[in-house]
Chains A and B, each alone.
Chain A
Amino acid sequence: MNPTRWHRRPATPVGRLCSESHRSHKERRTCPRAWPRRGAWPPSAARCSRVKHLLAERLSLDVEPELIGDDQPLFGRGLELDSIDMLELAMAVEEEFGVTITDDDAESLLSLNRLVDHIQAKQS
């Protein structure tokens, strides 16, 4: 366990400071003026946000969920998750979205966006 990680601390002040204005900001993102798409369904801001909150809550990350970058690595550099965190995350994703993550799907844990892609692909 690496105590330098954003772990195991109470909710951050920035969450309270940012909540109102950030909510409106994210609402803008869910209603884009231009939303070109082809083939696979693009990850929705709402689903990205749900996964970020799931990460922060289930792993007790000491980070404002919306500050987690969409392309942020989850292993090592990035959120610095370890194998135990990954197991917890896989269980949380199954409970929250009904989607399993097997060894064959491990690449879906390389970034938040990849995880969201995996969830959407399995649900569609």
Chain B
Amino acid sequence: MNRVETNPTDQYRALRRGCGLVDYSAVGFVRVSGAVATDFLGEICTRSTDFLLEGQISAALMLRENGLIVSEVLIYRSATDYLVEIWPDQARVAVDHLLTAAEGVTDLDVTDASDQYAAYGVEGPAAGRIAAKFLPFPVASMAYGSFVVTEDGLAARIGVTGEYGYKFVVPAAKAADMHDQLVVLGAPDCGRAVLDVCRMEARYVNLERESGGAEVTPFEVGLQWLIDFEHDFVGREALLVRWNNGLEREPVCWVADEGLVAPPARGSGVVVDDTEVGMVTHAVHSPSLARVIGTALVDSSVAASGLDLGLAAPKLAIRTISAPFLVPRSFRMPLA
């Protein structure tokens, strides 16, 4: 595998202005098939797969009975089965969660396929140009949240930076070849740290960072939109109780004053005057904005955009803003 070493500045520029390559080989993959596969996934995930058609991808959460998040998942619907993709940081726990849930269920086959596949993402305004090389039809006709079977594996239109994004899932034996093809086509390797910055700028929740490694409810990280209460799923009743009791704290996005150079640590206090009203959950430095930006979990009474709050230490102002933090270049660019 010909890995192209670049610095974070170049990686950021690639993701925001050109096209960057992200190695997703550490994601978890679980294949789910059998007569009750649809029912099984519908029960264990917060969104039903009843209406998921072949070639479509659905994002959902897996919860515990107490309503805490196990992981976010992407569910790929193929002709005969489902492929569940799990973000690297939650892969091990979530794969075990699925395998355990499937124990003793008849007419169901749940297999850990993590070692069978590798995945690479290309993201950026020019990502469509690279994706087009692998598609048997015009890239512009590929809808967000869809995938096709290609000669090499699967090609999906999905991403986390707000720019055009595509993901290629290939058999593990083809991983190095796929990586090198993407590099040759003009996508330099980009690290997870830079991807995290772009992800924050687009306000795509980074579950592992915003939760600090603890298990949280969807409400605490702003992922309640991944819940369909229309169907029964594991954790539904617990979430309803929490919702009916009212939310004491809710997530907000904020931008710091210029004086803040280094992102504050998770847990740093957020104050109004000298009264603590919440804590920082995640923060990064945005090269495009030349500011530290982040998320915080604050009292519901101040969980709104456009408010001047402060950090407890260092004592600096932050302002809550409406997401996303910046408008991706791809938003104004038609797919070539």
Contact = CB atoms under 8 A, between A and B. Distances in A.
Nearest to B304: A42
Interface stretch (B8-16, B117-125, B178-186, B241-249): B241-249
Contacts, number: 152
Contact of A62 (B56, B230, B309, B323): B230
A38 B322 contact: no
Interface string B213-253: 00000000011110111100000000010011111001111
Contacts of B250: 70
A106 B325 CA distance: 15
A67 interface: yes
A21 interface: yes
Interface string A37-72: 111111111001000000000000011100111111
A5 to B, nearest CB: 9
B222 A72 contact: yes
Contact of B222 (A24, A31, A71, A76): A71
B301 A3 contact: no
What does DSSP make chain A's interface, helix, strand, loop or mixed? Answer: loop
A46 to B, nearest CB: 11
B217 to A, nearest CB: 13
B322 A71 contact: yes
Interface in A81-124: 106-107, 110-111, 113-114, 116-117
A80 B331 contact: no
A62 to B, nearest CB: 6
Interface string A10-41: 00111001100110110011011111111111
Contacts of B144: 76-77, 80
Nearest to B52: A4
Contacts of A106: 331
B229 A12 contact: yes
Contacts of A18: 240, 243-244
B308 A45 contact: no
B305 A70 contact: yes
Given A71-B203, A73-B203, A4 B51 contact: yes
A2 B143 contact: yes
Interface in B128-184: 143-145, 158
B25 interface: no
B35 interface: no
A2 to B, nearest CB: 7
Contacts of A33: 301
A80 B253 contact: no
B323 A40 contact: no
A36 B302 CA distance: 8
Nearest to A67: B224
A113 to B, nearest CB: 3
23 contacts: A2-B145, A6-B228, A12-B230, A21-B244, A22-B243, A25-B246, A31-B301, A33-B301, A37-B306, A37-B308, A43-B305, A45-B304, A63-B225, A68-B225, A71-B324, A73-B324, A78-B225, A110-B323, A110-B324, A111-B324, A116-B305, A117-B305, A117-B322
Interface of B: 47, 49, 51-53, 56, 58-59, 143-145, 158, 203-204, 222-225, 227-230, 240, 243-247, 250-253, 272-273, 275, 277, 300-309, 319-320, 322-324, 327, 331
Interface of A: 2-4, 6, 9, 12-14, 17-18, 21-22, 24-25, 28-29, 31-45, 48, 62-64, 67-73, 76-80, 106-107, 110-111, 113-114, 116-117
